[in-house]
């Protein structure tokens, strides 16, 4: 079904899609191209560096954008778990969007979804570093350990959702006729 206009799709929502990613990992590659493709098709897509007004506080503005989005697409990459900001954003996505029955479509870009689900590989290493950092701060130990548990639960929950797994080279395979099921279902114009 083709969308006639973005406004009919977003009825009751400010955005069709909230696109979440670790900026330094995929913003000027995969995620930037995904944003361009969605926006080019008239899908009103929030991405933090394009849609935050100067002077906005990042956290309240992001929370509002998450709440006002019909669909959330978190793009996971190898370094996401090293960012406490990304992990806090993920907890907000789970709390605000998934609890209201909205669609969350995770994309795992060059990271194995099982590493996200079970916090192994780069995800396990990053969470261990957060935990070590939290143990140093005795005043906020309980608060920080609760935060860490929320991150782990959110990672597990989101990785259990049906999504797409892209490995480096998938796009090359897709363009050269070795169609990967994940890339073909998104049908992106790259």
Q: Which long-range contacts (CB under 8 A, 24 or more apart) does 22-28 make?
A: 22/75, 22/77, 22/79, 22/80, 22/83, 22/86, 23/48, 23/49, 24/79, 25/77, 25/78, 25/79, 25/80, 25/109, 26/75, 26/77, 26/109
Catalytic residue check, 89: yes
Catalytic residue among 4, 53, 68, 89: 89
Write out the catalytic residue numbers: 89
């Amino acid at each position: 079904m083709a969308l006639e206009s973005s406004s009919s799709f977003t009825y009751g929502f400010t955005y069709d899609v909230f696109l979440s990613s670790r900026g330094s990992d995929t913003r000027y590659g995969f995620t930037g191209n995904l944003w361009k493709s969605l926006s080019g098709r008239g899908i009103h897509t929030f991405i933090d560096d394009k849609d935050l007004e100067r002077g906005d506080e990042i956290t309240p503005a992001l929370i509002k954008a998450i709440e006002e989005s019909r669909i959330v697409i978190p793009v996971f990459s190898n370094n996401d778990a090293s960012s406490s900001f990304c992990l806090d954003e993920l907890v907000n996505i789970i709390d605000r969007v998934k609890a209201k029955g909205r669609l969350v479509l995770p994309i795992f870009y060059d990271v194995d979804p099982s590493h996200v689900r079970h916090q192994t590989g780069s995800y396990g290493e990053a969470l261990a570093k957060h935990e070590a950092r939290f143990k140093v701060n005795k005043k906020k130990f309980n608060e920080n350990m609760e935060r860490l548990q929320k991150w782990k639960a959110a990672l597990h929950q989101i990785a259990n959702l049906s999504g797409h797994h892209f490995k480096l080279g998938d796009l090359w395979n897709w363009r050269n006729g070795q169609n990967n099921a994940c890339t073909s279902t998104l049908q992106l114009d790259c």
